[in-house]
Structure 1
Amino acid sequence: MNARRRSDDRTATIMQAALDLALEAGYAKLSMEAVAARAGVGKDTIYRRWPSKALLFLDAVLSSRTTGLEHPYTDDIMADLREVMHRAVDLLARPPWGPLYRDLIGEAQHSPEVAAALIERFIRPQTADTLARLKAAQEQGQLAPDVDLDLAFEILSGPLYYRLLITHEPLTPAYLDRVLQAVFAGMGPRS
């Protein structure tokens, strides 16, 4: 096995150990020492890759599952958004990713470095994909030409984060359908 492959394997083992420990004890109790022991490596090995527990956790969470949230392009913007929102809710509504993502957002509130990395690596790409899909729908006449697409994105995202982070009410397909119906009532083409 070459050195690069061994390093990649070790990195994956460390990130999996961090995820497992965070799920078992919570992010607040996660420590570099515990991760090193679980992964069977020295703390120096971890600190060479990640200068802090927060950045290790960020990499571990974002490496665990962030694909599959790209928008399809059909002739039905609402169906396309519904499909992606349902996949996102499926990911966020249950373990392991939901609790880990909530912890990551919590850490981002205290760490500008984590917040910037989370925005750059996850939030911004998801936002760009959704805005591109909304723009295409607007150009096809599926949305009113004067709809503020940035605001529409925020209105679509807000209810998910509200339930995920504030009320902890269930994120269900039926709830998403209600959100989409409400938003699209104001965004559709005007006669």
Structure 2
Amino acid sequence: MTDVTPVRRGRGRRPAAEVRGAVLAAAGRILLHDGMQAITFDRVAAEAGSSKTTLYKWWPSPGALAAEAYFAQSRRVLDFPDTGDVRADLIAQLRAFVRWLKDDGAEKPVSELIGAAQMDPSLARAWSESYALPRRDLARERLRVAQRQGQLRTDADLDIIVDHLWGACYHRLLVLKVPFDESIVEPLVDHALYGAAPRGA
């Protein structure tokens, strides 16, 4: 349980954007500290200084709220760099992703969100639309820039590269359930960019 004091509502109506931001911030804190089961409209509304009616109006389920809150929390640490060196940028972003999972507390809620999404259509849609597809688009755009700069082949399949890099992390996290850390990052990136065949083969 987090030690968070519920927000007291002041007089007058707050702007909708402010209320929504407060709700997402509260839900994100709860999610990372206590897990997805702790995300209830009662608790989030109390900590955000909002009303349950407002939450029901904006989100079809606590799961959908949790998915959007996860995206809002992760956004600040998972920016995609563009230094002009695609290898360095992929390594930097993938390291940030692994640290986010392993060191910043996101491993458990991510596992819970993806697991629950298999049975909750509103959560599955929110996870895809709020997080998975936007993150994929960011990675694909960075790779397109690398293609235009001649750092990747023009016929390189960018979706396959994305699947190879981030999919490997999700596979170890969700399917194999084996430990992993930042040591996998450079080998993953080098295999994605250069393949496993001997150089010159």
Cα 1:52–1:79 change in 2 (3 A) is: same
Determine the structure 1 residue equivalent to 2:71: 62
Which residues in structure 2 correspond to 1:33-182 (within 5 Å)?
Answer: 33-37=42-46, 42-67=51-76, 68-74=78-84, 76-182=85-191
In the alignment, the residues of structure 1 paired with residue 130 and residue 27 of structure 2 have an alpha-carbon distance, to the nearest angstrom, of 19
- The gaps in structure 1 that reach 5 residues or longer are none
* Identity of matched residues, %: 29
Deviations 1:4-54 (A, max 9, x none): 34x555544544444454456532354334444555655334323333211
Post-superposition offset of 1:140: 2.5
Count of aligned pairs = 189
Alpha carbons 1:32, 1:43 under 8 Å: kept? yes
Give the CA RMSD over aligned residues.
Answer: 3.1
- The gaps in structure 2 that reach 5 residues or longer are 1-10
Cα 1:190–1:141 change in 2 (3 A) is: farther
Alpha carbons 2:64, 2:123 under 8 Å: kept? yes
Alpha carbons 2:68, 2:127 under 8 Å: kept? no
Alpha carbons 2:94, 2:166 under 8 Å: kept? no
Deviations 1:71-90 (A, max 9, x none): 3141x211111111111112
Deviations 1:59-98 (A, max 9, x none): 3222223134223141x21111111111111212234333
Query: Which TM-score applies when normalising by structure 1?
Result: 0.78
Cα 1:179–1:4 change in 2 (3 A) is: same
Asked whether 1:28 is paired with 2:33, we answer: no
Alpha carbons 2:164, 2:192 under 8 Å: kept? yes
